[in-house]
Amino acid sequence: GHVVRNWKVRWFVLLQDKLLYYKIEGGKKEPSPKGRILLDGCTITCPCLEYENRPLLIKLKTKTNTDYFLECCSREERDSWALDITGAIHAGHPVQVQELHRKKNSFRLLENISLHHIVERMYDSSTGIKLTHNLQQGNRYKQTFTGSALVDWLISNSFAVSRFEAITLASMLMEENFFKPVGARSTEATRYSDLSDQFLDDSTALYMFAESSKKNISSKEDLQFNISELSGTIVKQGFLVKQGHKRKNWKVRRFVLRADPAFLHYYDPTKEENRPVGGFSLHGCLVSALEDNGVPAGVKGNVQGNLFKIITKNDIHYYIQASSKAERAQWIEAIKPLT
Confidence at 167, pLDDT banded by 50, 70, 90: confident
User: Which tens digit of pLDDT belongs to each residue from 200-237?
Assistant: 888 888 999 886 445 444 444 443 455 567 777 889 98
User: Which tens digit of pLDDT belongs to each residue from 121-143?
Assistant: 898 888 899 988 877 656 778 88
Give the pLDDT confidence score for residue 99 in this predicted structure.
Answer: 53
Q: Mind listing the domains of the chain with CATH numbers?
A: 10-105 (2.30.29.30), 115-217 (1.10.10.10), 227-336 (2.30.29.30)
Contacts 24+ apart (CB under 8 A), 198-202: 198/171, 198/174, 199/147, 199/167, 199/170, 199/171, 199/174, 200/55, 200/147, 201/47, 201/49, 201/55, 201/147, 201/148, 201/151, 201/163, 201/166, 201/167, 202/49, 202/55, 202/146, 202/147, 202/148
